[in-house]
Amino acid sequence: MEEVDPAFIQEAEHRPKPSIMEGDGIPIIDLSRISIEGLVKEIGNACKEWGFFQVINHGVPFNLRERMMEASKMFFAQSVEEKRKVGRNDKYPMGYYDTEHTKNVRDWKEVFDFVAKDPVSVPVTPLENDHRLTLWTNPSPQYPPAFRATIEEYVEEMEKLSYKLMELIALSLGLHPKRFEEFFKKEETSFVRLNHYPPCPYPHLALGVGRHKDPGALTILAQDEVGGLEVKRKADQEWVRVKPTPDAYIINVGDAIQVWSNDAYESVEHRVVVNSEKERFSIPFFLFPAHCTEVKPLEELVSEQNPSKYKAYNWGKFLVNRTGSNFEKQNAENLQIYHYKLP
């Protein structure tokens, strides 16, 4: 990824460069706290005020996280030709890709995606009257050794942590702790992503990942000591750097929780900056509902005083629409939850 397309530089030069704030970082929450009431309150405050928080004493084995990071580094250290042997395509969107060779993406990174449930059912198309399903499956890289087994072990731990956090979020909204369970236990479409951000010769012009919001329920991020994640602070709309905290996971609320909570909690914009000298590795786990899930404000959170702010949408169709934009330049912007906002 050393050579830079002049069009990339020309486009990047027009990117807005908002100010960056240091300090006043996102909340760090200790999940080992004995008081469930205090923990629920902390989670609720973080979701409402930031949309982001970090968790420590989360129960995920540290050595497993280290093995994942090491396996990721070994995989990305291979030649492009080797990595592309397990490349993704429009029919099987799991696997390797580098955004240098994706026409409609200008982010400075390469990626390996791995679905949590293999295989997982998703709609063939985003068309409402098309009820056909297809299967997304995972590739099986031959290198590094036991790569697939390591990822599968990691996914299990991410699911445990995800469901624990979803129970705490449910309680913080005044709901039954298992309220969200029905949306995931019946074949979730979650996946884990390995990110590699090579050193960039134009860090002032490029981004590792441009500003965006995550479409699912939760994202659980492990990052290395290099860092690079920036969050838009709700209080003043300034970009805030998230400093790496050893053994912590960074959690953010996704669009689905924003809709389910009827805007009580908001999905927040974030981005990743690149480094001119150091490469960076990160591993996000995206908690996504089952394809058949109807995403809409929960009835317990809707009333005459607080009417529903969104019309319902099918998660599978939404997901396939968003995924399709990775392979074909769309005439319109990506589908967003505000397209379902009620007047």
Q: Give the model confidence (pLDDT) of 165-199 as tens digits.
A: 999 999 999 999 999 999 997 789 999 999 999 99
Q: What is the mean pLDDT of the segment spanning 112-139?
A: 96
Write the pLDDT tens digit of every residue in 251-293: 999 999 999 999 999 999 999 999 999 999 999 999 999 999 9
Q: Is 251 within the bounds of a domain?
A: yes
Nearest partner of 184 among 134, 251, 116, 130, judged by Cα: 116
Q: Is 196 within the bounds of a domain?
A: yes
Residue 89 confidence (pLDDT): 86
Q: What is the mean pLDDT of the segment spanning 113-117?
A: 97
Distance between CA 242 and CA 22 in Å, rounded? 9
Residues making up the chain, counted from first to last? 343
Q: Is 265 within the bounds of a domain?
A: yes
Count up the domains in the chain and report the number: 1
Q: Is 163 within the bounds of a domain?
A: yes
Q: Enter the pTM of the model.
A: 0.91
**160 lies in which domain range?**
21-340
Cα→Cα distances 49→26, 45, 235, 268, Å: 9, 6, 8, 10
Q: Is 293 within the bounds of a domain?
A: yes
Give burial (CB, 10 Å; 0-12/13-18/19+) of 60: buried
Q: Is 308 within the bounds of a domain?
A: yes
Q: Is 57 within the bounds of a domain?
A: yes
Q: Is 11 within the bounds of a domain?
A: no
Write the pLDDT tens digit of every residue in 8-55: 444 443 344 443 444 458 999 999 987 999 999 999 999 999 999 999
State yes or no: pLDDT of 139 exceeds 70.
Answer: yes
Cα→Cα distances 149→71, 137, 206, 248, Å: 11, 15, 34, 23
Distance between CA 262 and CA 243 in Å, rounded? 30
190 CB neighbour count, 10 Å cutoff: 23
Cα→Cα distances 15→221, 287, 332, Å: 25, 30, 19
What CATH number corresponds to the domain at position 110? Answer: 2.60.120.330
